[in-house]
Chain A
Amino acid sequence: MNEFFTLMKSELVVTAIIFLLLFIKISKGIQHSSLLSLIQVLLLINFIAGFFFNKSGGLFGDMYQTSPLIVFQKNILSLAVYLISLLCTDWLKKTEHLPEFFMLMLSALLGMFFMISSGNLLIFYLSLELASIPVAAMANFDLSKKRSSEGAMKMILSSAFSSGILLFGISLIYGITGTLSFAAIPQLLDGSTLQIMAFIFLLSAFAFKLSIVPFHLWTADVYEGSPIATTSFLSVVSKGAIAFVLMTALYKVFAPMQDVWYTMLVILAIITMVIGNLFAIRQQNIKRFLAFSSIAQVGFILVGISSGSEIGITAVVYFVLIYTFSNLAAFGVAAVIAEQTGKENIDDYKGLYKTNPFLCWILALALFSLAGIPPTAGFFGKLFLITAGATKGSYTFITIAALNMIISLYYYLRVIRAAFMDKNDNPISTIKLNASVKLAMIICGAGILLVGLLSWVYDYIHSLSL
């Protein structure tokens, strides 16, 4: 019984917060503004609680597994949710249904926690659904906006379709092996044609959720239509969680088929990076721009995953940590500007430096980090990903990945040029920043600078992944 509480503490804390919010909603005793601060404190507690009582072990006949590395991955997600609750303060304050929004968000987070910890295809499927259905409801949270409901419609249809494909793959795996447990499947796989077909079904479902080209078409629409808190949740938390699970699935469950999935990942990584970059160049809306840039980043994550070793695990977890800080900082700036002025186009950012130097510096840091320019952490993240990819010895692939980093510089620097150098007669007026938004931006900025320079962060993740 005691083991149950220590091993599942991340999930239990999140569940407790969800129930607390439910009771708060029923009682209606708390004012709207103080409710948001309460939620932020609860999310901070959730993040801090992740650092205590970390043990490895399995529960329910190893359907649920945990280890220090898994807990670390969960902590990254909790941190991202806390930062989102701070960064989107402006939008959240206006929302009428604040507790519901966080109930949905935390349910999705709970699903992701179970998904990362899953040791069985049944619990994996259940938690994947728990992680994706509430997000569709979150995407529709601007109930009166046409675009929001359109984005939500695209989200729920594509996620239902992809889970159908996933299930077909799982049913074939069950037919082949007669088991659903992650530990027992690898011994029964030998790379026959039917197994490859089942694997392709599973991989395409992952590709849908991770928005890998050619399954990316819903991404930009959903990102643009959804409220910005949902967009940042989708692009950081959901992407990170699925990337972690994809690693578990490939490294543990499909380990005997490594030759098969290596080739597939190389092809997917190349087209994802190229298409993501080329479409990002022509975007005018900042949310769409960040959507395509996050597609390109997923391509780089695939480069790291393709290595198939501990170096790959370390590089991906490290990169997701950095990506959390940099992408949330970029979304935070976009959120503040969109909420206070209603402007979302890159052209509107011209002359931003004159009026809002702080926002401009945070934006520049975030975009430099996403582009991978030293000394920001993004450089080290990309470096380790590409090093991990190079362990397989396919240098053409690595060269293509490196060339894609150069293409991505063009469009990231275009935004920075608009903000710093271009003249504008009618720039965005000076924006008064909320204290919590400022705090979150400073945390993100510090993260972008420090995670790369402090080498023990990488060493720590590496020691966990062994």
Chain B
Amino acid sequence: MQPGLYHILFLSAALFFIGVYGFLTRRNLITMLMSIELILNSVNLNFIAFNKYLWPNQMDGLFFTLFIIAIAAAEAAVAIAIIINLYRSHNSIDVENAEDLKY
């Protein structure tokens, strides 16, 4: 059996929700960042699958994927810089320890 659009969409939806679950349950900042990368990669899969199976004669989806990869790198760079700074002041990268600001 050849993998079709449905298989890839199932995979990407599963990746997306694994990413959301990880973001909401993990307490380590780096792991949370990795969960966000999972979400972005599921979107990449979506775009490429739609482009290949539904709209094969245009390139919009592929270009979007390239831009997402680039922006994800920029976002991760800023996020890691912030996390390093947080580590310097809190001596931990656990979100439970960053609790000065509360209701």
Chain A residues contacting B36 (CB-CB under 8 Å) are: 157, 160-161, 164
User: Could you count the A-B residue pairs with CB atoms below 8 Å apart for me: how many are there?
Assistant: 120
Alpha-carbon distance between A168 and B43 when the two chains are bound, in angstroms: 5
- Interface digits, A141-179 against B, CB 8 Å rule (1 contact, 0 not)? 001111101111110110011011101101110110011
Decide yes or no whether A133 CB sits under 8 A from chain B.
Answer: yes
Chain B residues contacting A50 (CB-CB under 8 Å) are: none
Kindly provide the distance from the CB of A181 to the nearest chain B CB, expressed in whole angstroms: 9
Chain A residues contacting B18 (CB-CB under 8 Å) are: none
Decide yes or no whether A304 CB sits under 8 A from chain B.
Answer: no
Chain A contact residue count (CB 8 A cutoff):
41
Q: Which residues of A contact B (CB under 8 A)?
A: 122, 125-126, 129, 133, 136-137, 140, 143-147, 149-154, 156-157, 160-161, 163-165, 167-168, 170-172, 174-175, 178-180, 220-221, 224-225, 279
- Interface digits, B30-71 against A, CB 8 Å rule (1 contact, 0 not)? 001100100110110011001000110010110110011001
Q: Name, among A133, A154, A175, the residue most crowded by chain B CB atoms within 10 Å (CB to CB).
A: A175
> What are 29 inter-chain pairs, A to B, with CB distance below 8 A?
A122-B67, A126-B67, A133-B75, A136-B78, A143-B85, A147-B100, A149-B85, A149-B89, A150-B90, A152-B85, A152-B86, A153-B83, A154-B101, A157-B23, A157-B29, A157-B36, A157-B79, A160-B36, A165-B39, A168-B16, A168-B42, A168-B43, A174-B55, A174-B61, A175-B50, A178-B55, A178-B58, A220-B103, A221-B102
Q: A161-B23, A168-B43, A221-B101 are in contact. Are A133 and B74 (CB under 8 A)?
A: yes
Q: Which of B39, B81, B102 contacts A168 (CB 8 A)?
A: B39
Chain B residues contacting A279 (CB-CB under 8 Å) are: 103
Alpha-carbon distance between A153 and B89 when the two chains are bound, in angstroms: 12
Alpha-carbon distance between A224 and B103 when the two chains are bound, in angstroms: 11
Alpha-carbon distance between A174 and B63 when the two chains are bound, in angstroms: 12
Give chain B's interface residue range (CB within 8 Å of chain A): 35 or more
Chain B residues contacting A167 (CB-CB under 8 Å) are: 39-40, 43, 68
Contact B74 A129 (CB under 8 A): yes
Interface majority SS (helix, strand, loop, mixed), chain B: helix
Alpha-carbon distance between A140 and B81 when the two chains are bound, in angstroms: 10
Contact A150 B86 (CB under 8 A): yes
Q: Which of B43, B58, B67, B79 contacts A160 (CB 8 A)?
A: B79
Chain B residues contacting A140 (CB-CB under 8 Å) are: 81-82, 85
Give the contacts of B6-20 with A (CB-CB under 8 A).
Answer: 16, 19
Chain A residues contacting B89 (CB-CB under 8 Å) are: 144-146, 149
Contact A153 B47 (CB under 8 A): no
Chain B residues contacting A136 (CB-CB under 8 Å) are: 78-79, 82
Contact A149 B67 (CB under 8 A): no
Contact B71 A151 (CB under 8 A): no
Q: A150-B98, A167-B68, A178-B54 are in contact. Are A161 and B39 (CB under 8 A)?
A: yes
Contact A168 B46 (CB under 8 A): yes
Chain A residues contacting B63 (CB-CB under 8 Å) are: 122
B100 to chain A: closest residue by CB:
A147
Contact B86 A171 (CB under 8 A): no
Alpha-carbon distance between A180 and B16 when the two chains are bound, in angstroms: 21
Q: A140-B85, A144-B89, A149-B85 are in contact. Are A157 and B75 (CB under 8 A)?
A: no
Q: Which of A125, A133, A161, A172 contacts B46 (CB 8 A)?
A: A172
Contact B101 A164 (CB under 8 A): no
A-B residue pairs, 8 tightest by C-beta: A164-B39, A171-B46, A175-B50, A221-B101, A167-B43, A178-B55, A150-B98, A149-B86
B71 to chain A: closest residue by CB:
A129
Q: Which of B54, B74, B100 contacts A146 (CB 8 A)?
A: B100
Alpha-carbon distance between A374 and B98 when the two chains are bound, in angstroms: 43
Chain A residues contacting B29 (CB-CB under 8 Å) are: 153, 157
A166 to chain B: closest residue by CB:
B43
Alpha-carbon distance between A86 and B36 when the two chains are bound, in angstroms: 37
Chain A residues contacting B61 (CB-CB under 8 Å) are: 171, 174
Chain A residues contacting B90 (CB-CB under 8 Å) are: 146, 149-150
Contact B101 A150 (CB under 8 A): yes
Chain B residues contacting A220 (CB-CB under 8 Å) are: 101, 103
